[in-house]
Structure formats: C-alpha cells, structure tokens
Amino acid sequence: MGNLLIIAISAILINNFVLSRFLGLCPFVGVSKKTETAIGMGMAVIFVMTLASAVTWVIWTYFLSPGTSNIFWIIANKFGSQTPAASFDLHYLETIAFILVIASLVQFVELVLQKTSPSLYSALGIFLPLITTNCAILGVAELNTMSLGYNFLEALVHGFAAGVGFTLALIMMSGIRERLQFAPVPRLMKGLPIAFIVAGLMSMAFLGFSGLKF
Amino acid sequence: MKIIKDFTKGILVENPVLVLALGLCPTLAVTSSAINGLGMGCAATFVLVMSNLIVSLIKPLVPSRIRIPIFITVIATFVTITKLVMAAYTPALSEALGIFIPLIVVNCIILGRAEAFASKHSPLRSLVDGLGMGFGFTLTLVVLGAFRELIGSGTIFGQQIMGDNYKPALLMILPPGAFLSLGFMVALARMLLEKTRKEA
C-alpha cells in the first residue's frame, strides 16, 4: 500500500509528467488558454492514461516480454517444443505494438462513450482524437514496462497518478494564462514565449518537491 | 528553385520548433547538452526523411480513410530501426536519450510532414522537405543544447569554454532552464523573422 502511495505522489509532484519529464507538452501549450477546456482535456487524459497503462502492461507481459508468462511460449510448450522461454523475446516490437494499441483503444473508447454516455462524450469527445498522438500516453506505457518494470497494480496507479499530475499542471497553467491576457507582455514575447517562461517558473516551483525523499 | 526553397524553409521561416511549435517534448527534454541535442536531431531527421519518402511513394495505394494508422506504422518501423541501431552503436547516447527515442513515433513534426507535405508531393520534394525540416530541428536542438550546456556546466560538446573560476548555474541543465531558454529562443526567432520579412 505504502509503495503505491509513493508511486502516486512521486508521479504527481516530484516527477510531474509535464514540468519535470517533459511529456505531453503539445496539449499543455495548446489547450491551456481556458480553464474549462483544460479541465476537459485533463479528465480525458487521466481516463485514457489509466486504461492505456493497463492494456499496454498486459500486451507487454503476455505477448512481448521474454519469460514464462509469454503466451507464445506457453503454446509452444504445450505442443512439446523445448525452446527456452528467453528466445520468445519480442520486445523490439514494443513501439509499434503500443502505438497501434493506444490508437485503437482511443477509437474504441470514443465509440463506447458515444453509445453509452452521450453527456460524458460531449464533454470529452473533442479531446479524445488529440490524445492518440500525445507523447504522455506512449511515454507512460514505455516507462511502466521498459524503464521502471512495474507490476500490474503499480502500472495502473502510476498511469492514473501521471494523468492527475498532468491535469494539475494544465489547470494551473490555464489559470495563469487567463490572467496573463491582461498583463502588459512585450510584443515579441506574447503567446508561446511567455507561456514557456511561465512553465519554467512553475517547473522551478515543482523542483522544490524533489526534496521529498522517502 | 522550388527544391531549394523546400530545403531552406525549415531553417527559419517554417522552423518546426520555433515557429510551428511542433516536437516540443524532445526539444526540451534532451537539450541538457549539445551532443544530446545533436543525437536526437539526427535520429529524428533520419526517421523524418525515410518516412516522408515512403509515404510519398505509397500514397497512390493508401485509402484516405485509414491513412493515419498507415503513416504511423511506417514511422514506427523507422523508429524501431533507429532505436536498435543506436542501442548497438552508440549505447551511451541511447542511454542518455532514454524513452525519447521510441517517442519519436508521436513527434508531431513527423506525422505532420507526412500528412501535410509528403502525402501531396513527389518523392524527391518530400525527401528534400524531410531533410530541411530535420536540419531546422537539429539546428534548434544543438543551439539550445549548446547554450544550456555553456551556462549550466561551462562546456560545449564537452569542451571547457568558461574559465576555471566559472561557477556553473546548475538550474540551466535542470527542467526550468529548458523552459526559460526555449521561451527566449522563440522570441529571438520571431525577431529574426520580422527582420527578414521587412528586408524582403
């Protein structure tokens, strides 16, 4: 339990996906002009990120990774093959497999939402297609499986918390940018440059959380 | 003449990072040193050129409804090639760039050029467009990386530049430094762009 809490807190504050890992910057800059849209985008990201963490973990563990949980090895073993489990190593296919799985997952979620919950669909719908090529989603899948080697529950919590961290940064940014419209910003710094400066200052503030050592 | 323009527009007028604001994640994440920036730039350029070429070659065969998944598969194939080659021949660089090599797949520059340029133009022009865009991307990354490395550790490409008394400002190679430097760089690019427009 404590382990999961540490994963969650570090994904939200210490290794914030936007401000310290630099993932998901396109929506962070693109949809942070209004707080309302920022909340919608944030919710859609949390939803898809949690789902994608679960699905990519299953794909990784049962289809791609070398080991005794690999389904291809289990089948081959049933038919009396003596090939060692380590030779069923398909991890080089991970990038292609993950991006295709995530893209179809997003399409599927869109269809299901449209049929079952029109109100949720009208709130999140326009953000869903944008999420497919959001590097935060593919990033969390890669981190869960390749870099951090989490188990299923940890991967799920990490995906959810990373989404929450993204949403937190996005909503804070949109609040600042709404106020910024009335500030006397130098002409050349308007828009994108000042957004980066604001993000830099926020990132500096979040750097303080790295003092939280467990 | 069109070909030359296809190449040079990526450097400033349509610079993918500074003007179009695409591919921001790797730009900020890997530019803690000039060499990392160069490595990332070259990897992305290779993928960009190859995917532009292939997309423009297969465009008569691709039904327009499913073109995006097909483009992504083409891109992912070249990213996998790049990832394996880098892991084999430049393990240190591959370690430093980490998950940002597989994440080239979702770099908006590459899918953006496949969709906006390569799916409409001839293979030769698409190839040159990929080269130009890749060059603009690499140049931005190297300049940003060199600047951050110079202030943050007093070196450029690992060579000592600042004197022995220089106290490196560590903040510049940490995440906040990336945001701040890119903000000023975008403003600088706008200034240059305005100047060239006035002269023309």
What interface predicted TM-score (ipTM) does this complex get?
A: 0.87
Q: How much is the pLDDT for A213? A: 62
User: Helices (H) and strands (E) in chain A — how many of each?
Assistant: 10, 0
Chain A residues lying within 8 Å of B186, measured CB to CB? 192-193, 196
> Inter-chain contact A204–B102, Cβ cutoff 8 Å?
no
Q: Can you tell me the distance from the alpha carbon of A171 to that of A163, in angstroms, rounded to the nearest whole number?
A: 12
The pLDDT, as a whole number, for residue A125 is 66
Q: Which pLDDT tens digit goes with each residue over A64-73? A: 888 778 888 8
DSSP string covering A108-127: HHHHHHHHH-HHHHHHHGGG
Please list every residue in chain B whose beta carbon sits closer than 8 Å to the beta carbon of residue A25. Answer: 24-25, 28
* Rounded Cα gap, residues B114 and A175, in angstroms: 35
Torsion, Cα of B171, B176, B179, B181 (10° steps): -20
Smallest Cβ–Cβ distance between B25 and the set A25, A186, A200 belongs to: A25
Helix (H, G, I), strand (E, B) or coil at B13: coil
For an interface test with A, the pick among B51, B83, B113, B179 (most A C-beta atoms closer than 10 Å) comes out as B179
Q: pLDDT at position B1, please?
A: 67
Chain B residues close to A203, C-beta within 8 Å: 175-176, 179
d(CA B164, CA B74): 49
Nearest CA in chain A to B189: A188
Answer yes or no: is pLDDT of A214 > 70.
no
- Residues 6 or more apart whose CB falls under 8 angstroms from that of A133 comprise B106, B108, B111
pLDDT in tens, B6-29: 888 888 888 888 888 888 888 899
pLDDT at residue A28, rounded to an integer: 85
* Confidence at residue A204, expressed as pLDDT on a 0 to 100 scale: 92
Phi, psi values for residue A46, rounded to 5°: -60, -45
What pLDDT is recorded for position B53? 94
Tokens 């309302």 locate to: A36
Other C-beta atoms lying within 10 Å of the C-beta of residue A149: 11
Contact between A133 and B109 (Cβ < 8 Å):
no
Burial of B64 (0-12, 13-18, 19+ CB in 10 A): exposed
The larger pLDDT score, comparing residue A34 to residue A128, is at A34
| Chain B positions with Cβ closer than 8 Å to A | 21-22, 24-26, 28-29, 69, 72-73, 76-77, 79-80, 83-84, 98-99, 102-103, 105-108, 111, 171, 174-180, 182-184, 186-187, 190-191
Question: Distance (Å, rounded) from C-alpha B108 to C-alpha B137?
Answer: 12
Mean pLDDT, residues A98-113: 85
Give the model's confidence band at A196: pLDDT under 50 very low, under 70 low, under 90 confident, else very high: very high
Contacts of B175 in chain A (CB under 8 A): 19-20, 22, 203, 207
- Residue-wise pLDDT for A44-59, tens only, equals 889 889 999 999 999 9
Nearest to A138 among B105, B171, B180 (CB): B105
Residue with tokens 């090529």: A133
Contacts A–B by Cβ distance under 8 A: 112
pLDDT of residue A133: 67
Mean per-residue pLDDT for A89-115? 85
DSSP-based three-state secondary structure for B155: strand
Q: Cβ separation of A20 and B175 shorter than 8 Å?
A: yes
Contacts of A146 in chain B (CB under 8 A): 99
Nearest to B21 by CA among A169, A27, A144: A27
For B153-182, what is each residue's pLDDT tens digit?
A: 888 888 888 877 888 888 888 999 999 999
Half-sphere exposure of A56 (CA within 13 A, CB side): 37
Over residues B72-111, the pLDDT tens digits come to: 899 999 999 999 999 999 999 999 998 899 999 888 888 8
**Per-domain boundaries in chain A:** 2-211
Pairing of strands B159-160, B155-156: antiparallel
Does B183 contact A200 at a Cβ distance shorter than 8 Å?
yes
Could you tell me which chain A residue has the CA closest to the CA of B177? A200
Instruction: Note the Cα A8 to chain centre separation in Å.
Output: 13
pLDDT above 70 coverage of chain B, percent: 100
- From chain A, the residues in CB contact with B76 under 8 A are 95-96, 99-100
Q: What is the mean pLDDT of chain A?
A: 86
DSSP single-letter state for residue B106: G
Q: What is the pLDDT of residue A121?
A: 79
pLDDT tens digit string along B109-132?
888 888 888 888 999 999 999 999
**Residue B60 corresponds to which tokens in the numbers above?**
């008569």
Q: What is the pLDDT of residues A7-26, one digit of tens each?
A: 999 899 988 999 988 898 88
In eight-state DSSP terms, residue A60 is: I
